[in-house]
Structure 1
Amino acid sequence: MEEEEKEDDGRPRDHRWLFTKLLHLKVKELDKDRSGDIDREEFLRYFVKRLDLPQVIAEAIFDDIDRDKGGDIDTHELLRWKNKHTKPEMLIKYFPPGHLEALERERLEKLKANHQSKHKLDGV
């Protein structure tokens, strides 16, 4: 398997970030074997290896999209799922308990450290 280049836009991997990634997802972008569908391995390779989403979250989403449990996602399944998940808040259920809270704490700690560092530079 070839090594995937990690994509990092600096945003926390929360439900809002995930909503944007899923909103713009197209079957043919992930369909590496050109079968017309996204199989589980292709989906996980993209979301876990490239986007650095925790595997447990990627698996839960794949399983929910793959309604017929055939092991792959076709365009119709993906569109049907996207039409049911029209707001970022609808993705919160896929995150393990405490995960989003930990991301928020990390974000706040970075802001605090950045703020303190700026004030040290300003001589305050």
Structure 2
Amino acid sequence: MAQLTELTKDQSYAIADSLAQASSLVLELRIREREALAPDERALLEQYENHLDQMVSLFRAYGIYLTAEGAEQARGDIEGAIVKGKLQLKRIADIKAAIGAAAKLVDLGAAILSRDPFAIGEAAASLRVKPKKDDQA
């Protein structure tokens, strides 16, 4: 079994707090766009919001562990990717693109839970790709 590197409590909490903020942005989007959302879109956003909330609870309760090789790079990827995801949720005018950003944040959380720095890097990279319909206002 690969050696695990535990992030400090402060690092784990910072990531958890940032994901909690992302979850709040998903909730805000769901409320703000209530009239424009199709039922399946509303359900997807609620599902992503719930997944993010569950991950936040896990990260706060148990901390975050990464495989030792590439752990430091993965930690940097996590922080930068969450910031990008939150910015996308704030700026995106297209509902489908916003749902995509929420899904990518959930994918990042799942990658963190997998402890695999490569998976974290892949999930982080997907958040760095600019959405097709991005409102720059």
Larger-gyration structure (1/2): 1
**Normalised TM-score (structure 1):** 0.28
**Normalised TM-score (structure 2):** 0.26
